[in-house]
Amino acid sequence: MTLNPVTPEFESELRAQLPGPCFGEVTPGYLEEPRGRWQGQAGLLLRPGTTDEVATVVRKAHEARVPLVPYGGGTGLVGGQIAMEGPAPVLLSLERMRAVRGIWPEENVMVVEAGAILSDIHDAASGVDRLFPLTIAAKGSAQIGGNLATNAGGVNVLRYGNARDLCLGVEAVLPNGDIFHGLKRLRKDNSGYDLRNLLIGSEGSLGVITAAALKLYPRPALEGTALMVVPGPEAALSLLALGRDHLGEGISAFELMHRTGLEFLNETMPDVRLPFADLPDWFVLIDIGLARGLDPAGALEALFAEALDKGLASDGLIAQSDAQRQAFWAVRESIPEANRRIGSVSSHDISVPLSVVPDFIARGNEAIAALEPYRVNCFGHLGDGNLHYNVFPPMGEMRGAYVAQRDVVKRTVHDLVHQMGGSVSAEHGVGRLKVEDLERYGDPAKLSAMRAIKAALDPRGIMNPGVILRG
Amino acid sequence: MTLNPVTPEFESELRAQLPGPCFGEVTPGYLEEPRGRWQGQAGLLLRPGTTDEVATVVRKAHEARVPLVPYGGGTGLVGGQIAMEGPAPVLLSLERMRAVRGIWPEENVMVVEAGAILSDIHDAASGVDRLFPLTIAAKGSAQIGGNLATNAGGVNVLRYGNARDLCLGVEAVLPNGDIFHGLKRLRKDNSGYDLRNLLIGSEGSLGVITAAALKLYPRPALEGTALMVVPGPEAALSLLALGRDHLGEGISAFELMHRTGLEFLNETMPDVRLPFADLPDWFVLIDIGLARGLDPAGALEALFAEALDKGLASDGLIAQSDAQRQAFWAVRESIPEANRRIGSVSSHDISVPLSVVPDFIARGNEAIAALEPYRVNCFGHLGDGNLHYNVFPPMGEMRGAYVAQRDVVKRTVHDLVHQMGGSVSAEHGVGRLKVEDLERYGDPAKLSAMRAIKAALDPRGIMNPGVILRG
């Protein structure tokens, strides 16, 4: 499929159709990504202010066969927002479309435009005493359109589901410029194929999401947080099961962490206060939210007492104040930054069936140790079977010396994940980083169907070419 | 698109490739549907025992351009399983594929074949102390493959979601005979387009689901049920909000019913014991399930006391035993049968945004009353904004006299639903019954995308032709 570059004629035709504020300057930030691995290119930056303006841009790009890269907060970790090959594309940034179009607290629904920043959505929900539970480390700059395009996960998936589960409807511009008006505020709607879920997770390759109807939740009246030291991942899983037995859906987050993460914090971020005098090998952060009339600290104490009794925990801390809750969470939330400062050889966002998590960790560690004395920081959303299994240079060495080893490390981890029925792309998406992985591990019938769908909806291949499927 | 009939050659080629038990006799049951409206046709009944055998059938039909109708429990209400036009199709029944392939209680996952009957799945889940929450009136004969193909809803959607939300992965045979191996037991998997959700709700028009990985839940330790008389739908919504405030996610079902439903029970099913001496105009059934250590009856009493105080309820009954819970549920579950015995002029499975439910009911009743002195039985899943708004002949008259009025009644109701941002197909699907409605009310961009997807995945148009989209 031949794509065309942005030409002066293309730009001037758009200038004749769109108001001035739609045109922006391509500053370096638009071409970088959080891990500094790739450098993008752009032929033109467009920042439409309305859905009709988005449709104008897409229709024009479709007619001229000019590639388009939808651009959200730029926080994606798999290069979905970074076009390196082919003609320099139009960057279609949703940054000016950030309105809350409506909130219906009595329906637990909010309709927002795609450029709305995740933390602003949290604030808007709080303003009507509701919770929008999707939360990720990049919430201060990530936009909901990108969260939906990548089906973002995060720490609350265990209780509330991922971005997909939190979306009732979308408005989107399809690759031919047609506007899909799908902003329904309905809990049940079986009227035809599930175009919403096809767009969610398609990473901008099947259309541009311009607005979404989001599910809100009552804010849990009372919340509590604990850290518990566990003998290992197996015990952590049993503790999760025990916790569900005690608390039902009350568990909002259940995060597994390893001693390596604490060591990294010690080495790179000494300001983060560690709540343990002796660093434990494995520990979990448990966050709960309960309806009124219940007692979170008491519930966590009862859970801890039984866990202690059953040998599922050996030590524990239950937050006694909001400040302590935040301190516990700061440990978890600082680990990605500590990882970044240490510099990984290869990072892996993987998931496996819950019950094989302990075996995966044991076999993964063994396979990695057989390569080099790497340091492994394995942590993540245990309740979802989603681990960030990140491999770092041996103590005292720098990643630079191991760049050539990245592929063998990645292959070792991903082969094992695939063999154990897992996914090599759990919550970050495929982007441009994992296109080859998808070809290697993906189901062939699914890949053929995906290619047929892409060709059917975007016959000219203009939408984010090279993402998910080879361009 | 020209489709071919089943020929003796077609059949004999299949007989050469498939074992004897795959061939069955087309008894009348396969050609009927629950409301007795349509009569189907079949050129051949095939009952494969394995996924590979399903693939053989589909591949063969693809090659020969013979239409295929996937057949589950036959309980669908929109004619999705009934082919009336075109060459008599192959009926592809999943009835012999009903194995539970595996249960992982520690993961809350079960993998079952598509022909498994819903109530058998309930039993299998109970057997490992887990809950599979999808439940519908036809659970004793409906098959999970059909539940997924139609994205079935039911009474527990409020708490646990619909069939879509309860499925982690599917195995399916695509229209060209390829097998999609998508039976992952993962809570997070962002590896490419969401083919699972595209198949779910496609009513067999994009492929045949052969197995599914289903989400299980802990069984609520303690359950409780109440009936509360409410001043009207508006108060019922406020009572739901109050209940969520009290009980968080603890509310499993919240069903609205009207006096007309009780009158129908009196008239047609006098064995069903009504729990009210004076029939109330509006009442709700509230079902809750709580974790251990909590007190459902106490919680319902506290809720009722506050509801009484706030004028949201005027009378209430809290079940004191399992027998009473069942008696309360029997009222709700007998209403569809009572409706059937009365005989509706037109039945509507609709949804609207939650906050407009009261206004919809008021305006709907007014519009219907302006036509004839019809009796309206409006009931359903208030928490989902999903109402069964069914219109019956005036007292003492029979539906036969009003057959000619069906279209005007339906149009009156559906126009109003559409105007109020709702869906004319909430939980039963589109099937063959609502193809025209979809054309009238569906988003044009969505319909174009659907047609493109159908043509891309099923270029010969063999899969359940005429369902959802005009063949």
Task: Outline where DSSP puts E strands in B107-236.
Answer: 109-113, 130-131, 167-173, 179-182, 208-215, 217-218, 222-230
Closest chain A residue to B469, measured at CA: A192
| Shared domain check, B104 and B214 | yes
| Shared domain check, A392 and A298 | yes
Contacts of A249 in chain B (CB under 8 A): 248-249
- The whole-number pLDDT of residue B246 equals 86
A241/B contact by beta carbon, under 8 A: yes
Which of A291-295, B23-27, B296-300 has the lowest average pLDDT? A291-295
DSSP B279: P
- The average pLDDT across B122-145 equals 96
- The whole-number pLDDT of residue B100 equals 98
A422 vs B186, B386, B426: nearest CB: B186
Contacts of A161 in chain B (CB under 8 A): 165
| Shared domain check, A346 and A259 | yes
| Shared domain check, A248 and A209 | no
Among A218, A237, A270, where does a domain finish? Answer: A218
Cα of A244 to nearest chain B Cα, Å: 8
Q: Is residue A260 part of a domain?
A: yes
Give pLDDT tens digits for A170-183. 999 999 999 999 99
Among residues of chain B, what percentage have pLDDT more than 90? Answer: 92
A244 vs B150, B218, B449: nearest CB: B218
Helices (H) and strands (E) in chain A, counts: 14, 18
Cross-chain Cβ contact A193/B192 below 8 Å: no
Of the residues B193, B240, B242, B428, the best mutation for testing chain A's interface (the one with the most A CB atoms within 10 Å of its CB) is B193
In chain B, residues 292-331 whose CB comes closer than 8 Å to chain A = 292-294
- The whole-number pLDDT of residue A1 equals 63
Return the C-alpha torsion angle A180, A183, A186, A192, nearest 10.
0
Q: In degrees rounded to 5, what are phi and psi of residue B41?
A: -140, 155
Q: Is residue B393 part of a domain?
A: yes
A352/B contact by beta carbon, under 8 A: yes
Q: What is the CATH number of the domain that holds A398?
A: 3.30.70.2190
B37: pLDDT strictly greater than 90:
no
Distance CA B171, CA B302 (A): 46
A200/B contact by beta carbon, under 8 A: yes
Cross-chain Cβ contact A448/B178 below 8 Å: yes
Give pLDDT tens digits for A402-437. 999 999 999 999 999 999 999 999 999 999 999 999
Q: Could you tell me which residues come within 8 angstroms of residue B266 by beta carbon, excluding any fewer than 6 positions away?
A: B274
Bridge partners of B90, per DSSP, are B44, B68
Of the residues A158, A186, A188, the best mutation for testing chain B's interface (the one with the most B CB atoms within 10 Å of its CB) is A188
DSSP A29: G
By the 8 A CB rule, do A286 and A254 touch?
Answer: yes
- The average pLDDT across B78-96 equals 96
Distance CA A29, CA B366 (A): 58
B442/A contact by beta carbon, under 8 A: yes
| Shared domain check, B254 and B180 | no
- The average pLDDT across B39-61 equals 97
Cα of B177 to nearest chain A Cα, Å: 9
- The whole-number pLDDT of residue A238 equals 96
Inter-chain CB pairs, A–B, below 8 Å: 286
Cross-chain Cβ contact B450/A195 below 8 Å: yes
Cross-chain Cβ contact B449/A195 below 8 Å: yes
- The whole-number pLDDT of residue B291 equals 73
- The whole-number pLDDT of residue A137 equals 87
| CA distances from residue B230 to A35, B110, B234, B292 in whole angstroms, order as listed | 57, 39, 9, 30
- The whole-number pLDDT of residue A219 equals 87
| Shared domain check, B241 and B201 | no
Give pLDDT tens digits for A333-368. 999 999 999 999 999 999 999 999 999 999 999 999
- The whole-number pLDDT of residue B392 equals 98
Q: Is residue B198 part of a domain?
A: yes
- The whole-number pLDDT of residue B319 equals 96
| Shared domain check, B348 and B336 | no
Contacts of A441 in chain B (CB under 8 A): 191
| Pick from B356, B416, B413: nearest CA to B382 | B356
| Shared domain check, A232 and A205 | no
Cross-chain Cβ contact B182/A455 below 8 Å: no
Among B194, B218, B242, where does a domain finish? Answer: B218
Cross-chain Cβ contact B180/A427 below 8 Å: no
- The average pLDDT across B146-172 equals 96
Distance CA B439, CA B447 (A): 8
Among residues of chain A, what percentage have pLDDT more than 90? Answer: 92
Q: Is residue A181 part of a domain?
A: yes
| Shared domain check, B235 and B324 | yes
A194 vs B184, B201, B438: nearest CB: B201
Where does the pLDDT of residue B412 fall: very low under 50, low under 70, confident under 90, or very high at 90 and above? Answer: very high
Q: Is residue B413 part of a domain?
A: yes
Cross-chain Cβ contact A174/B445 below 8 Å: yes
Residue A441 tokens read as 């591990």
| Shared domain check, A274 and A183 | no
Return mean pLDDT, chain A.
96
Cross-chain Cβ contact B188/A353 below 8 Å: no
Burial class (CB in 10 A: 0-12, 13-18, 19+), B449: buried
DSSP A78: S
Cross-chain Cβ contact A468/B246 below 8 Å: no
Cα of B186 to nearest chain A Cα, Å: 5
Cross-chain Cβ contact A424/B191 below 8 Å: yes
Among B285, B317, B342, where does a domain finish? Answer: B342
Q: What is the CATH number of the domain that holds A120?
A: 3.30.465.10
| Shared domain check, B240 and B140 | no
A429/B contact by beta carbon, under 8 A: yes
Cα of A34 to nearest chain B Cα, Å: 19
Q: Is residue B196 part of a domain?
A: yes
| Pick from B355, B349, B346: nearest CA to B426 | B349
Q: Tokens 């589909």 correspond to what residue?
A: B58
Give pLDDT tens digits for B230-263. 999 999 999 999 998 888 888 999 999 999 999 9
A48: pLDDT strictly greater than 80:
yes
Task: Provide the domain limits for residue B372.
Answer: 344-428
Q: Which amino acid, A396?
A: G
Cα of A433 to nearest chain B Cα, Å: 12
Q: In degrees rounded to 5, what are phi and psi of residue B2?
A: -90, 125
B223/A contact by beta carbon, under 8 A: no
B189/A contact by beta carbon, under 8 A: yes
Q: What is the CATH number of the domain that holds B352?
A: 3.30.70.2740
- The whole-number pLDDT of residue B1 equals 63
B168: pLDDT strictly greater than 70:
yes
By the 8 A CB rule, do B240 and B282 touch?
Answer: no
- The whole-number pLDDT of residue B36 equals 85
The secondary structure element, H or E, covering residue B289 is strand B282-290
Give pLDDT tens digits for B343-376. 999 999 999 999 999 999 999 999 999 999 999 9
Cα of A49 to nearest chain B Cα, Å: 21
Cα of A26 to nearest chain B Cα, Å: 29
- The whole-number pLDDT of residue A317 equals 96
Cross-chain Cβ contact B190/A427 below 8 Å: yes
Contacts of A353 in chain B (CB under 8 A): 104, 107, 109, 184-186
Distance CA A348, CA B290 (A): 38
Distance CA B199, CA B130 (A): 26
Q: Tokens 């979990």 correspond to what residue?
A: A284
Q: Which amino acid, B346?
A: S
Give pLDDT tens digits for A185-232. 999 999 999 999 999 999 999 999 999 999 999 888 889 999 999 999
Q: Is residue A198 part of a domain?
A: yes
ipTM for the predicted complex comes to 0.96
How many domains does chain B fold into?
3
Cross-chain Cβ contact B192/A430 below 8 Å: yes
Q: Is residue A460 part of a domain?
A: no
Terminal Cα-to-Cα distance of chain B (whole angstroms): 8
By the 8 A CB rule, do B229 and B258 touch?
Answer: no
Distance CA A130, CA B64 (A): 56
By the 8 A CB rule, do B33 and B79 touch?
Answer: yes
B128/A contact by beta carbon, under 8 A: no
| Shared domain check, A245 and A369 | yes
